Structure 1
């Protein structure tokens, strides 16, 4: 006859508890991120793909570049995204909050100038004309300067309604940087800014989606959004006269041409001089370059907590390399190989404590 040893119930419960804990194992890492809406379409794709490959959750909230900068500085996010590099004031605040920050370019893309004029499918615009629209100086679509750029087009006398981002926005920073390069008057005011003071005749909307929706539903409206939002919402966008005086539409090839040209130019002003691997891609040289191009940067502290830091860095290393395969299908341009290499090297300098 087999003998059995009675085990006290308390011990059984304790053993059961150990088995339960070890059976569940450690929970999958969860990375908290947010900021720029410019990068959101590809970030959501990355999050889905990365979860399948690495079992790591990337929770990204798209609320504008200002949100990304403020909340990574306040330690509310593991990393933030911005299309505008931190300025000196923002860098100082971050240094005081948690030390040095790094800016890692994760994607590059075009800011499309969208408009609602069904009778004009192939509109051409220049930076000077767009600047005057956003200064409130051009009030009708049949203005002589627009006619001159579009000979033979059926331009209506419809009122121009310009739409801008209501919140602090890196897309706005890219857009206003371009207009400031093309118009001395615009450069004085509103100037280059994530949250400029626009003329009262404009309409402010939250996010790229908000701008896209308002333009789509408003006759005579014009706005600026990341190209993916124009495509997703089936909104017509203009070809822009570039620095070489060539009309160029936004696409992966024209973005790549702008990026390659701009990377050859040494940064000579803030905020680009404050951070390696940040570039001004607007109004680049070259016949094929689209003139309103920007990058989204992942911003993170150079010293990260050892519990979450490795997961953050490994995800970003994947995003700038393997993740670039999804760029073209989502209307971005892949990072040049040189920029991917340098981004991964920069991520290699992040430490954990």
Structure 2
């Protein structure tokens, strides 16, 4: 329904103020957001940098991608972040509450496999071996399958403790999607999901929870966004990629995965439900790191006229100028084509 003359006049009055970071009485706009822990480190950096440029406060609370989605649907945040695109069921719930939801890629990152094997500083794994570790088919560090990939490495005779996220998590979605692609057994028993049901191991909250547990518990293995591994100085496993090359998680490996995966649009849900959603796991290419995910900002296409322009202005900055912060924080910058498409989607947001 088109806006009434009164609604349009109110939008004309409020939009310039909100875009400048102020509401009608001149006080700073405070944008509330939350969700993905994967994107939290760069989101906090974006919030600090943006605050210096405009009088807009971005309050981002990391809570997991599942919570980010549910909070957007419940309209308790101005925008959310998720590393797993919304499912058909989640989209239907959102439409019932406030209409169409936009998915905007904001950053790309590697999911690093971190480990604490006493006496081991460098480790190589394959996807199928990693899947068997999480299925508990491999439960000791000196298992022949692990030893064959690490000749000459003094692997300990100790149990492996696989660590997973305790809450609904987009990082888990990316990790489990990769394992489902490379291991038929994992595909059949667990599948690509934000909440893995596993035969053993332990659950921890957030990327920082997994990082802390692995760092402090000999025998543990886990998966976190690369920045959390780097910040906590935890050993990271190298992985053999689809092309058979042994690679480590780097910004270059992330960019290579994005470049090859974005050549074709996924036809499977949930990616097929969204214009700018891509699966970057197990990508082709000699340099591609195999466990790569995209963090998406999600927001209703119809925004309120008081805070909506400030939300749109911030996200436009994130997908353009904000990308300069990515590499230093161990994320991959968006391809230019993605930035242009995300900006175009934000230009189409309405304020009613």
**Range class of TM-score, shorter chain:** over 0.9
The residue that corresponds to 1:108 in the other structure is 108
Helix, strand or coil at the partner of 1:121: coil
For residues 153-192 of structure 1, the aligned pairs below 5 Å read: 153-192=153-192
Residues 1:76 and 2:76 aligned together: yes
Q: Which SS does the other structure have where 1:325 is aligned?
A: helix
Quick one: distance in 1 between partners of 2:86 and 2:296? 10
The 1-side partners of 2:109 and 2:56 are apart by 26
The residue correspondences of 1:208-227 to structure 2 (distance < 5 A) are 208-227=207-226
* Aligned Cα root-mean-square deviation (Å): 0.9
* Structure 1 residue 196, shift from structure 2 partner: 2.1
CA distance in 1, matches of 2:88, 2:302: 20
Report the alpha carbon displacement of residue 274 of structure 1 after superposing the two structures with TM: 0.2
**After the TM superposition, which residues 92-131 of structure 1 pair with which residues of structure 2 at under 5 Å, given as runs?**
92-131=92-131
Q: Name 1:245's counterpart in structure 2.
A: 244
Structure 1: 5+ residue runs without aligned partners?
Answer: 1-23
Q: Please state whether the residue corresponding to 1:71 is helix, strand or coil.
A: helix
Distance 1:118 1:292 in 2: 25
1:1-353 matches, cutoff 5 A: 25-199=25-199, 201-353=200-352
Give how far 1:301 is off: 0.4
Unaligned runs of 5+ in 2: 1-23
Higher mean alpha-carbon deviation, 42-51 vs 25-34, is at: 25-34
Q: 1:279, 1:189 → 2: CA distance?
A: 24
- Secondary structure in structure 2 of the residue aligned to 1:109: strand
Distance 2:85 2:25 in 1: 39
TM-score normalized by structure 2? 0.92
Cα offsets for 1:162-204 (capped at 9, x unmatched): 00000000000000000000000101121100012121x2100
Other structure's SS at 1:106 match: strand
SS at match of 2:137: coil
Offset from partner CA, 1:64-113 (integer Å, 9 cap, x none): 00010000000000000000000001001001011000100000000000
Contact 2:108 2:331 in 1 (8 A): yes
Shift of 1:25: 4.8
Q: 2 CA distance for matches of 1:100 and 1:281?
A: 25
Secondary structure at the aligned position of 1:346 is classed as helix
CA contact (8 A) 2:164 2:196 kept: no
- CA shift, 1:118, in A, is 4.0
> How far did 1:218 drift?
0.6
Task: String of CA shifts for 1:276-312, please: whole Å, max 9, x gaps.
Answer: 1100000000010000000100000000101111000
1:266 to partner: Cα distance: 2.2
Once the two structures are superposed, residues 205-260 of structure 1 have per-residue CA deviations (whole angstroms, 9 ceiling, x without a partner) of 00000000000011110000000000111100100000001110001000000000
Q: Distance in 2 between matches of 1:107 and 1:248?
A: 21
TM-score, normalised by the number of residues in structure 1: 0.92
SS in 1 for 2:46: helix
After TM superposition, the runs of 4+ consecutive aligned structure 1 residues lying more than 2 A away are: none
> Counterpart of 1:211 in 2: which secondary structure?
helix
Aligned residues: 329
